[in-house]
């Protein structure tokens, strides 16, 4: 009995020692991976070492450590961070050499490792060829005698898995518990790697943004970019201040009011600045400032408050655009407009004077006609009483209408009647028929009719039932 007890104690002691040694080796592998990540946080070296050590610990022939990602359709797939090189021909070796460093992707979920991803649970298959969850092996693939797939999580989110194969005698449940620290390390490393990658992306984006900003600031020759603190003293001035105002950036690191002119428009600068420092975004405004050469320049100012982490305003960022040329042009246009207004006023006075003179001339013609021509016509009417009364009325009417524009309207650019047509119109307007017109003008009736047709055509009356006499009297 004593010998049996002693033998049992020795066996238990040996077993415990082996377990401690195994745990120690696992912890060393984890510590080694963590040290590698701290020294050089890259996926390839860290996970290569961790996988190699774990395969040794579990006496597995090959395996992988991978991250679970999702495609655009929300379907999961596996991307390896490390995988054992089990290439079995030239083509698979070339594939491994090309993509192993970038990470191989596996999208077929109808496999043993796909079962791990879809269920989020460990998978043990000690007879894979007969396991209903298997997906089959490519031709030439090394034999798969046993398989262990273990998921690992970050919080409640499944983020990756470990796969290992061909452990002599297969895999047992107790190995899952044994490898929990290893799975936790894989999870932490992937999260740390993601954080590091995101940090690098952010830094790269920030560097690119700053580079782009500097290029922009240096090339916008009509703009200058600036910042000043709550005290109004500039803390940053873009190099373009030299092209805009002639100063070097160092010369301008003073209070914003230092170089303002005495133009009354600058009185609102302090008002807008104080409101911006209260966190109130203000509209753009103009100011006048001295150039280094003593000339005056105009700037259009757009500003926004700078906030600290607590939301307190600590300064102002601003963009100033050189609008001197535009202001000068506006001033010239304003002056040209004023000059034009003055010329228009003068022209109105001239036209008004012409109208007055035209009226005076018209009045003089009417007076002279009434006092000189009409008495003479009346004497002729009495002398030839009963003869040619109609022609005398025509003469009287034309004398009375000397200042009308009847002939001018008919000979204008739109109607363009000939002198003879205007003469015929005058007779028609005063009630003469074709026979009378023919007699007085010594032309044939046919010619008079031709003139009538041409007159109606030029007046736009052809084919219309409009009395020509009435129409001519309306002009």
pLDDT tens figures, 333-343: 899 888 888 98
Higher-confidence residue of 470 and 209: namely: 470
Average pLDDT rounded to a whole number, residues 387-406:
65
User: Whole-model pTM above 0.85?
Assistant: no
Could you give the angle at the alpha carbon of 115 between the alpha carbons of 113 and 116, nearest 5°?
65
6: pLDDT strictly greater than 60: no
Q: For residue 440, what pLDDT band results from cuts at 50, 70 and 90?
A: confident
282: pLDDT strictly greater than 60: yes
Average pLDDT rounded to a whole number, residues 222-233:
92
Q: For residue 361, what pLDDT band results from cuts at 50, 70 and 90?
A: confident
Task: Look up the CATH number of domain 220-322.
Answer: 3.30.450.20
Could you give the angle at the alpha carbon of 163 between the alpha carbons of 159 and 166, nearest 5°?
170
Lookup: tokens for 84 = 């054992």
Pick from 21-35, 168-182, 373-387: least confident? 373-387
The rounded percent of the chain whose pLDDT value lies above 90 is 43
Lookup: tokens for 432 = 């003469």
Higher-confidence residue of 46 and 307: namely: 307
**What is residue 233's predicted lDDT score, i.e. its pLDDT?**
95
- What distances in angstroms separate CA 3 from CA 12, 14, 137, 418, one per listed residue? 14, 16, 52, 152
- What distances in angstroms separate CA 267 from CA 2, 264, 284, 304, 328, one per listed residue? 107, 6, 15, 19, 21
**What is residue 7's predicted lDDT score, i.e. its pLDDT?**
54
Q: For residue 268, what pLDDT band results from cuts at 50, 70 and 90?
A: very high
Cβ pair 149, 133 in contact under 8 A: no
| Domain 405-475 of CATH type 3.30.70.270 | no
Could you give the angle at the alpha carbon of 220 between the alpha carbons of 219 and 224, nearest 5°?
120
Average pLDDT rounded to a whole number, residues 29-38:
68
**What is residue 475's predicted lDDT score, i.e. its pLDDT?**
80
**What is residue 11's predicted lDDT score, i.e. its pLDDT?**
62
Average pLDDT, the chain: 84
Cβ pair 153, 187 in contact under 8 A: yes
**What is residue 148's predicted lDDT score, i.e. its pLDDT?**
96
**What is residue 93's predicted lDDT score, i.e. its pLDDT?**
86
**What is residue 31's predicted lDDT score, i.e. its pLDDT?**
74
Pick from 196-210, 214-228, 257-271, 367-381: least confident? 367-381
Cβ pair 54, 63 in contact under 8 A: yes
72: pLDDT strictly greater than 90: yes
215: pLDDT strictly greater than 90: no
**What is residue 13's predicted lDDT score, i.e. its pLDDT?**
55
The strands making up 296-307's β-sheet, listed across from edge to edge, are: 234-237, 223-229, 313-322, 296-307, 285-290
Q: For residue 61, what pLDDT band results from cuts at 50, 70 and 90?
A: very high
Could you give the angle at the alpha carbon of 423 between the alpha carbons of 419 and 424, nearest 5°?
120
Domain ranges across the chain = 19-197, 220-322, 405-475
Average pLDDT rounded to a whole number, residues 76-90:
90
Q: Specify the DSSP class assigned to residue 152.
A: E
Average pLDDT rounded to a whole number, residues 234-249:
92
Higher-confidence residue of 5 and 464: namely: 464
Q: For residue 474, what pLDDT band results from cuts at 50, 70 and 90?
A: confident
Higher-confidence residue of 471 and 215: namely: 471
CA 422 to chain centre: 67
Q: Domain 19-197: state its class.
A: alpha beta
**What is residue 80's predicted lDDT score, i.e. its pLDDT?**
92
Pick from 120-124, 198-202, 376-380, 450-454: least confident? 376-380
- CA-to-CA distance for 428 and 455, rounded, in angstroms? 11
The strands making up 105-106's β-sheet, listed across from edge to edge, are: 105-106, 76-83, 62-70, 157-165, 147-154, 123-125
**What is residue 347's predicted lDDT score, i.e. its pLDDT?**
86
Q: For residue 137, what pLDDT band results from cuts at 50, 70 and 90?
A: confident
3-class DSSP state for residue 75?
Answer: coil
Q: What are phi and psi of 460, to 5 degrees?
A: 75, 25
- CA-to-CA distance for 290 and 41, rounded, in angstroms? 55
Q: Do 405-475 and 19-197 fall under one CATH topology?
A: no
382: pLDDT strictly greater than 90: no
- CA-to-CA distance for 456 and 14, rounded, in angstroms? 134
């Amino acid at each position: 009995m004593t010998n049996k007890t002693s033998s049992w104690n020795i066996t238990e002691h040996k077993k415990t020692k082996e377990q401690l040694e195994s745990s120690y080796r696992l912890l060393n592998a984890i510590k080694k991976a963590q040290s590698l990540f701290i020294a050089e946080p890259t996926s390839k070296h860290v996970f290569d070492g961790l996988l190699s050590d774990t395969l040794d610990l579990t006496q597995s022939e090959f395996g992988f450590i991978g991250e679970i990602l999702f495609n655009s359709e929300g379907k999961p797939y596996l991307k390896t961070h490390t995988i054992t090189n089990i290439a079995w021909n030239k083509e698979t070796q070339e594939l491994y050499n090309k993509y192993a460093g970038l990470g191989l992707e596996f999208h077929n979920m109808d496999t043993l490792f796909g079962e791990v991803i879809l269920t989020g649970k460990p998978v043990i298959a000690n007879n894979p060829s007969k396991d209903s969850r298997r997906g089959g092996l490519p031709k030439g693939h090394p034999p798969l005698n046993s398989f262990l797939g273990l998921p690992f999580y970050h919080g409640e989110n499944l983020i990756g898995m470990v796969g290992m194969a061909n452990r002599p005698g297969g895999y047992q449940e107790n190995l899952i518990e044994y490898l929990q620290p290893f799975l936790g390390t894989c999870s932490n490393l992937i999260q740390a790697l993601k954080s590091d990658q995101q940090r690098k992306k952010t830094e790269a984006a920030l560097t690119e943004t700053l580079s782009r900003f500097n290029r922009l600031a240096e090339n916008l020759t009509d703009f200058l970019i600036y910042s000043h603190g709550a005290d109004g003293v500039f803390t940053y001035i873009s190099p373009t201040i030299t092209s805009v105002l002639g100063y070097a950036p160092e010369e301008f690191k003073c209070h914003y009011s230092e170089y303002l002119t005495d133009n009354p428009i600058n009185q609102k600068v302090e008002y807008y600045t104080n409101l911006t420092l209260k966190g109130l975004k203000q509209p753009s405004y103009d100011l006048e400032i001295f150039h280094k050469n003593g000339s005056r320049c105009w700037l259009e100012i757009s500003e926004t408050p700078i906030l600290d982490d607590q939301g307190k305003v600590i300064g102002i960022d601003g963009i100033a655009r050189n609008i001197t040329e535009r202001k000068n042009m506006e001033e010239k246009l304003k002056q040209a407009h004023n000059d034009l207004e003055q010329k228009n006023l003068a022209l109105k006075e001239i036209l008004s004077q012409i109208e007055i003179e035209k009226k005076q001339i018209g009045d003089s013609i009417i007076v002279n006609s009434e006092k000189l021509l009409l008495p003479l016509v009346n004497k002729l009417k009495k002398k030839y009483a009963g003869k040619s009364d109609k022609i005398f009325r025509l003469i009287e009417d034309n004398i009375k209408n000397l200042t009308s524009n009847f002939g001018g309207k008919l000979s204008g650019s739109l109607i363009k009647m000939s002198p003879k047509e205007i003469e015929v119109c005058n007779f028609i307007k005063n009630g003469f028929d074709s026979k009378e017109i023919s007699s007085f003008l010594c032309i044939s009736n046919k010619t008079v009719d031709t003139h009538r047709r041409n007159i109606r055509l030029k007046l736009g009356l052809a084919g219309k039932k409009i009395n020509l006499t009435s129409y001519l009297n309306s002009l």
